[in-house]
A and B are shown apart, each in its own frame.
Chain A
Amino acid sequence: MSIEIESINKQFGSFTALGDVSLSIPSGELVALLGPSGSGKTTLLRIIAGLESPDSGRILFNGEDTTESHVRERKVGFVFQHYALFKHMTVFDNVVFGLTVRPKETRPSKGEIRDKVTELLRLVQLEGMAKRYPAQLSGGQRQRIALARALAVEPQVLLLDEPFGALDAQVRTELRRWLRRLHDEIHVTSVFVTHDQEEALEVADRIVVMNKGRIEQAGTPDQVYEHPANPFVLNFLGNVNLFHGRIQSAGEGQPEADNSVSYVRSHDVEIDRSQHDSSSLKAEVKHIQKLGPSVRITLSINDSESFVEAELTRDVFQNLDLQQGEQVYVRPRQVRVFAEDYQI
């Protein structure tokens, strides 16, 4: 089922949580809503679900206006950030809840329900946990039960609010890969909220970058990463250095405007012992920070106030054998230029 979001506005008092947001999500896609805290991701997701109503604008499911329809009728699966499991019910009762509240005519038989739970628990890899209470599960297990419960009603749309937000790094990585595989298996149109760029880049078919209640860019992970529409997107998807005024990247021509700002991702900064060409800048190594597989170097550009951060792989770092206080040359590999007036 496809989702059309048409110029949605939402105010909380005088505060604009969403300002004229439009987006279309093709059927079967896994879309990530990515943005900093308070950017309106949850609000947008809740409006899609029908948990919140927009001040203006429309939500269409498969071309049909659902803006006015009740959350009960929308057939969405919603996975809450803190799971919202019913703690007085067993895993089994939680999962079947959506089926048992149906009117008698459409309610599946007891046998069908049991089969369904078995199948779902297998899908979320929690067979044999049916009799437990939520309090007896780990965070990751609760998260998967919340997902199974949402899937039990066979939703046409699956909405997940920071589904992995409350989990530790390792479980997070595991679960997000699992979510990707699950989605490949069942292909339900899915939207998930995250403020973790890595998660979005790894899992999503498409990424929607939000900021201050607006959509900054929507596109495939490659598009938003390789061709960020503006400095915000660039900055949000990786560490960047910014240079006021002219700067040249290797092989490229001079940027046109003087009052432009150049952005260089830290792993696009090259460090050399010798001057390469005119784009090289003389700098001093100020600080070396080893971060697992990579090394972050802070340098100060000579004759200027500005600092640059470079990220090298360990190999490169070891080959260069950099020392603190050493004079080197830095050279941006790839520069992105945006007009000065853009504010991050």
Chain B
Amino acid sequence: MSAPTRTLTAHANGNHRITEPAPVRWVLTTVALVFLALFLALPLAAVFSQAFEKGFGTYLLALKEPDTLAAVKLTLITAAVAVPLNLVFGVMASWAIAKFSFPGKNLLITLIDLPFSVSPIISGLIYVLIFGRQGWLGPFLEAHDIKILFAVPGILLATIFVTFPFIARELIPLMESQGRDEEEAAMVLGASGLQTFFRITLPNIKWGIIYGVILCNARAMGEFGAVSVVSGHIRGITNTVPLQVEILYNEYNYTAAFAVASLLAFLALITLAVKSVAEWNVRENMEP
């Protein structure tokens, strides 16, 4: 972090001679801010503006709708399942990858990143291919009357898939940058493996975990494409919040759609806030 702060102070003092002339700086800043306003700030403002268009009462009414409440519940359940599972995986994987050297490490990292480069629609499709009526396990599931597709388990699986890399990819570089020295020192001092992990490693990656969890959670609660393939859109049963937004929107019930969407936008703002704090702390913990 030393480099940026140094430039900053130099600029703030106005003694950094090697920069662009003031008018150029001014124009570039304006253009950048207008672009961001147009593409980011305006849509964000629009969510809330539309949500509260017909007043606070209507807003609350839209949220209290039973189908919406059911969607909120399903979304919370989904995140509560997907995030811990991927957290455990992320910690395990980063320990194995960052603290040891073995052949094929880069390939493994690429495979872990894979769900990021797969279109959400494909992420849903693969579960249809496995659990669908014509899928691998379709006949078996039907025979035993187990519902995965167009039911909650399918939603959980698709969500776990799309949020799979979030925590691992945050922790791997962080742990790699921290090296093995501190853990080795702890072992030399007689700590057991678990003691070493909980008392040395964990405090060092704490903010990285928070960062990864918050992003993973945002995606788990907000995933749309993959979930919409496997959900079946059964109101009150297999609709998550984003799907509920879609349905309301497609029914031209805009105010309600935006009211529900505003919940997700709040979530996004909280995510951004926590992320900024975590980012700051992660950078502090990263060895240069």
Question: A residues within 8 Å of B by Cβ?
Answer: 12-13, 50-53, 70-71
Contacts and interface: CB of A to CB of B under 8 A. Distances in A.
Interface in B1-46: 13, 15, 17-18
Contacts of B15: 12, 52-53
Contacts of A53: 15, 17
Contacts of B13: 12-13
A293 B15 CA distance: 48
A50 B17 CA distance: 8
A84 to B, nearest CB: 12
Interface of B: 13, 15, 17-18
Q: By DSSP majority rule, is chain B's interface helix, strand, loop, or mixed?
A: loop
Contacts of B18: 51, 71
13 contacts: A12-B13, A12-B15, A13-B13, A50-B17, A51-B17, A51-B18, A52-B15, A52-B17, A53-B15, A53-B17, A70-B17, A71-B17, A71-B18
A50 B18 CA distance: 10
A12 B14 CA distance: 11
A70 B18 CA distance: 9
Nearest to B12: A13
B17 to A, nearest CB: 6
A50 B13 CA distance: 16
Nearest to A54: B15
Given A51-B17, A53-B15, A71-B17, 10 more contacts: A12-B13, A12-B15, A13-B13, A50-B17, A51-B18, A52-B15, A52-B17, A53-B17, A70-B17, A71-B18
Nearest to B13: A12
B6 to A, nearest CB: 12
A96 to B, nearest CB: 21
Contacts of A70: 17
Contacts of B17: 50-53, 70-71
Nearest to A51: B17
A12 B15 CA distance: 9
Contacts of A13: 13
A60 B17 CA distance: 19
A159 to B, nearest CB: 15
Nearest to A46: B17
B51 to A, nearest CB: 46
Q: Which 7 A-B pairs have the closest CB atoms?
A: A52-B15, A51-B17, A53-B17, A53-B15, A71-B17, A52-B17, A51-B18
Contacts of A51: 17-18
A13 B15 CA distance: 11
Contacts of A50: 17
A71 B15 CA distance: 13
Contacts of A71: 17-18
Contacts of A52: 15, 17
Nearest to A52: B15
A52 B13 CA distance: 11
B258 to A, nearest CB: 49
A71 B18 CA distance: 9
Nearest to B14: A53
A17 to B, nearest CB: 10
A70 B19 CA distance: 12
A201 B18 CA distance: 34
B186 to A, nearest CB: 34
- Considering residues B13, B15, B18, which has the most beta carbons from chain A within 10 angstroms of its beta carbon? B15
A258 B127 CA distance: 95
B16 to A, nearest CB: 8
B8 to A, nearest CB: 13
A292 to B, nearest CB: 34
A195 to B, nearest CB: 21
Contacts of A12: 13, 15
Nearest to A70: B17
B131 to A, nearest CB: 52
A53 B18 CA distance: 11
A267 B88 CA distance: 67
A13 B17 CA distance: 17
B94 to A, nearest CB: 30
A51 B18 CA distance: 7
B21 to A, nearest CB: 11
A45 to B, nearest CB: 14
Nearest to A12: B13
A52 B19 CA distance: 12
A176 B15 CA distance: 32
A69 to B, nearest CB: 11
A53 B17 CA distance: 7
A13 B13 CA distance: 8
A53 B13 CA distance: 11
A101 to B, nearest CB: 14
A71 B17 CA distance: 9
Nearest to B16: A52
A161 B57 CA distance: 69
B22 to A, nearest CB: 14
A103 to B, nearest CB: 19
A116 to B, nearest CB: 26
A51 B17 CA distance: 6
A134 B15 CA distance: 30
A234 to B, nearest CB: 34
B12 to A, nearest CB: 10
A51 B15 CA distance: 9
A93 B15 CA distance: 30
A70 B21 CA distance: 12
A44 to B, nearest CB: 14
